[in-house]
Structure 1
Amino acid sequence: MNSELQKLIDNWMRIDPDPKTKQKVNEMVANKEYEKLSKILNPQNRLEFGTAGLRGEVAPGFCCMNQVVIMQTAQGILNYVKEHFPQDKAICIAHDARHYSDVFSDITAGVFIAAGYKVYYFKQLSPTPYAAFFSEHFKCVCGVMVTASHNPSQDNGYKVYGMNRGVQIVPPHDSLIQKSIEQSTEILPTTYKFADYLTQQYKDSQLFVELNEESPETQIYYDSIKVLSRTQTSNAQLKFKPEYSAMWGVGCVPVKRAMKTFNFNLDQVNFFADSTIPDPNFGGEKRPNPEERHNMVKLCDKAQKDTQVIVANDPDADRFALAEKINNEWVIYHGNEIGALFCEWTLQNTKGDDRLILCSTVSSQILKEMAKKHNVHFAETLTGFKWLATVAREHTDKRAVFAFEEAIGYTCGDNQLIVGDKDGVSACCVMMELANFVYSQGKTIYAYLQEIYAKYGFHAWQNSGITVGSMKEVGELFVPLFGKEEKRNYVQQIGRFKVNRVRDMKEPGYDSEFGQPKLPVSGSEMLTFYCDEVTCTFRPSGTEPKVKYYIEAVSKKDNQDAKQIALDFEKEFRKLLGK
């Protein structure tokens, strides 16, 4: 071991208050994992703070999630808001059931209370929608949700809402916070003593407001989502048998409470006994995400015999998934299909030409057709719910009533989106109400979806990716689409499919219809090709040598024809790319 590595080890041992991570460092030293130690203990390899906050493995080192990194992050965020929003003195904090979520939340609360901030802190296990909703309700300068959503069990994350609204941060807040963190790495004595500020003394001074499911304040969320319930009376008697899964996360308690808010009788609902209990190891499941088809297949296989509809959340309850038994065969709905169901139901049950519906650019464009038929406004945004909620909040002259992204993220509203992020809790209940309505008419959710397709065209999706050997090869995949010249010459034909419009989101940006894209451009590649029957968006992963494509086909004939068009386009598109 060289002297430089010894300095890094000594520094970590000096600043880390956690005996568990210290022990892991000692074990790596004993095992002579010097190369790994040199990497993880070097502050220059710090876990980068982005618009999604932090996310990484719970382990020692600056590139992982641990008490040192969270102490420095909390100090950095504190210093950022003190400098840029000095008049605002409140923050909301919540956490899920992952390993260390409670500790990371305690640290954050202690740091802000020590600085004289009022901290609304959900000490209990909480869903992500709580952090978004209550950050906005309590007019907090920012909010923190400690969760890694549906990442593997060894991970955790740190999501930040702000500033002064319950929406995930957008640039330039992320890079400015990162800079502030880098300038706040000397851990203060008060930070190490974070637990001293989570006491009755600070409750009495009203700086520490501890919240839980029994708190009167928590009821405000449920009073707010009650407006989404359109059929309260008939909800009391379910015409179908649902079964709910929390995917080993925190959703069961708030979902049961939301079901009562919608006037559902819990005795008429089945619950998956194992996955409704919070488990930081997710029952051994490596990818605890209901968007992953294998997880929904498992739920279908073990559902109770009388179950007709499965409703599920991911572990932090911001996403929502759906399956339905049709003629003893399970239909697992695609995120875009669920979005279409929610949107049509919402538009049928709200009024006004000032309504606004939104989706991300890689999600189904069926919303655009719905907007035309219902004479309401439609907005398309960049990928990520932070952009959907930001655009919705910026349209102050319109009423955002629904927003979604195809990665099973949904949020509903009436006068405005109730939660400025994905809300799997209220989504679960809205879908149950929709299901109860269609079943009371002798139909199924699937039949209702077919009615939607008959009205707006039959839609099908073929989303996949191409993995290559290096990031350089990722760039080379784009060459067949616009050539090698500095001035891009975009392809005009993809097999039998004529390209009517091209949108290029890489700076400086280009749109063959509008000249300049209406969405914000960036330094990353993202191309969208619009053909008569097909829309295709092509973009790099950003974190691995992989490109993703999102193909949506539309047919006036039927589902099978739409699916075949999507497959035909995929074949021609991959052929053009040499893949």
Structure 2
Amino acid sequence: TPLHGVGGEHVVRQLAAAGYTSVTPVPQQYEPDGHFPTVSFPNPEEPGALDLAKALAAEGAELVVANDPDADRLAAAVPVDGEFRTLSGNQIGLLLADYVLTHTDVEHPLVVNSIVSSPMLGSIAAAHGARWEQTLTGFKWIWNAALDLADDVTYVFGFEEALGYSVGPYVRDKDGIATLVIFVDMASGLARRGESVLDRWYQLAADHGLWVSTQKSVVRPGTEGAGEIRAAMELIENSPPADIDGIAVEQVTDFSVGAEQRPRWLAETPLVELSLGAQGRVLVRPSGTEPKLKIYVDLRAEVGDRDPAVLEQELLGRANTVAAATATYLGFD
């Protein structure tokens, strides 16, 4: 589904060129329509945005893929126990990173993600002998890193957790159409081996540790709200907690200072990272466009002999608790 956007005919044409002709568009959402009549908000991250696609897919499809209206982002859903589960932006990015690195013939590959995206990319990169860099949010920063490092490494993939991906050097921005075709390639290859996309995800978790990610946004509109957000950032910068929900904070990085010691793609910005060691991290920053304080939590656990799907749900619950505890520390109920 193009979600009433401009990607429909272009995606179908590119899939056909790649050999995928068994494609069923969602008819109610295929033609461009700026009123977006079938969704409350035309963002594939929004709950309910893929409901029509999932309902149609239940008639026999193996994969759901979606673009946002301007077709620069990609969402996907996969079948699980008779229903379709939407993958997170981090899951799609990590699966694609592993796929691209497995198939590249580049001698010194570079993969990049934004700093609020999953750190699991570092482990995947290391396993493939690739270099990993993190940047500020925005593909301009991902591509600044790629261009600055071009004498030493070759960019092969980058992503942001908000469903933005870029494969190879051809489009120096997020590209939902090319990435969609490559994601279908990956899923097709897995199917030929008798594996599902989720099978591959859980194998990555077994190899690199299971990572889960969650976000919590604290909305504080108006002048008074802006003051509360500033006060929260000052608190986390000057008096960070010793632990969050019982997990020790091992290191604090304040990205509002020390920019001269970092590459230009990690310039000065109001962002604080609380490292939880091997268990993960917490990031806190104000939104750049909305009256929000944003809390990002990434937690990690070894799978061992646990059922990874059960562990994933337990760890996600813990991540939500950590996000709530962080908000409470900052003075927000």
Per the normalisation by structure 2, the TM-score is 0.90
2:258 to 500, 505, 509: 509
CA distance in 1, matches of 2:116, 2:180: 23
Per-residue CA distance 1:265-289 (angstroms, 9 max, x = gap): x2x2211112111112222534111
Per-residue CA distance 1:445-466 (angstroms, 9 max, x = gap): 1111111111111011111211
Q: Structure 2: which 5+ residue stretches go unaligned? A: 304-310
Name the SS for the 2:28 alignment partner: coil
- The residue correspondences of 1:513-552 to structure 2 (distance < 5 A) are 516-518=261-263, 519-522=265-268, 524-532=269-277, 533-552=279-298
CA distance in 2, matches of 1:411, 1:404: 6
Task: Check the 8 A contact 1:357/1:371 in 2, yes or no.
Answer: yes
2:32 to 267, 273, 278: 278
CA distance in 1, matches of 2:158, 2:266: 19
CA drift of 1:317 comes to 0.7
CA distance in 2, matches of 1:437, 1:520: 36
Task: Check the 8 A contact 1:358/1:378 in 2, yes or no.
Answer: yes
Name the SS for the 1:280 alignment partner: coil
2:230 is matched with 475
1:562 is matched with 315
Matched, 1:430 2:203: no
CA distance in 1, matches of 2:315, 2:107: 31
CA distance in 1, matches of 2:105, 2:46: 35
CA distance in 2, matches of 1:305, 1:495: 44
CA distance in 2, matches of 1:561, 1:251: 37
CA distance in 2, matches of 1:463, 1:495: 16
Change beyond 3 A, Cα 1:573–1:517: farther
2:51 is matched with 297
- The residue correspondences of 1:328-343 to structure 2 (distance < 5 A) are 328-343=82-97
CA distance in 1, matches of 2:291, 2:106: 46
Residue identity in the other structure for 1:406 = E
CA distance in 2, matches of 1:543, 1:260: 38
Per the normalisation by structure 1, the TM-score is 0.53
CA drift of 1:490 comes to 3.7
Matched, 1:255 2:8: no
Change beyond 3 A, Cα 1:284–1:451: closer
CA distance in 1, matches of 2:239, 2:39: 46
Task: Check the 8 A contact 2:74/2:164 in 1, yes or no.
Answer: yes
Change beyond 3 A, Cα 1:517–1:390: closer
1:454 to 206, 215, 224: 206
CA distance in 2, matches of 1:551, 1:449: 19
CA drift of 1:293 comes to 2.5
Q: Percent identity?
A: 28
Task: Check the 8 A contact 2:254/2:272 in 1, yes or no.
Answer: yes
Task: Check the 8 A contact 2:136/2:267 in 1, yes or no.
Answer: no
Matched, 1:492 2:242: yes
CA drift of 1:542 comes to 2.8
> How many aligned residue pairs are there?
319
Residue identity in the other structure for 1:254 = H
1:419 is matched with 171
Residue identity in the other structure for 2:105 = K
CA distance in 2, matches of 1:430, 1:360: 21
Change beyond 3 A, Cα 1:306–1:452: same
Change beyond 3 A, Cα 1:569–1:353: farther
Specify the structure having the higher radius of gyration (Cα).
1
CA distance in 2, matches of 1:563, 1:312: 24
Name the SS for the 2:288 alignment partner: coil
CA distance in 2, matches of 1:490, 1:568: 18
1:408 to 163, 167, 171: 163
CA drift of 1:396 comes to 1.6
Change beyond 3 A, Cα 1:572–1:353: farther
Task: Check the 8 A contact 1:480/1:576 in 2, yes or no.
Answer: no
Q: Structure 1: which 5+ residue stretches go unaligned? A: 1-244, 483-487
Name the SS for the 1:294 alignment partner: coil
Matched, 1:374 2:119: no
Task: Check the 8 A contact 1:339/1:406 in 2, yes or no.
Answer: yes
Task: Check the 8 A contact 2:209/2:300 in 1, yes or no.
Answer: yes
CA drift of 1:571 comes to 3.4
Task: Check the 8 A contact 2:116/2:283 in 1, yes or no.
Answer: yes
Task: Check the 8 A contact 1:362/1:406 in 2, yes or no.
Answer: yes
1:465 is matched with 217
- The residue correspondences of 1:98-497 to structure 2 (distance < 5 A) are 245-264=1-20, 266=21, 268-283=22-37, 285-303=39-57, 305-397=59-151, 398-413=153-168, 417-469=169-221, 470-482=225-237, 488-497=238-247
CA drift of 1:263 comes to 2.2
CA distance in 1, matches of 2:321, 2:39: 35
Task: Check the 8 A contact 2:72/2:177 in 1, yes or no.
Answer: yes
Name the SS for the 1:274 alignment partner: helix
Task: Check the 8 A contact 1:248/1:279 in 2, yes or no.
Answer: yes
CA drift of 1:516 comes to 4.0
Per-residue CA distance 1:161-193 (angstroms, 9 max, x = gap): xxxxxxxxxxxxxxxxxxxxxxxxxxxxxxxxx
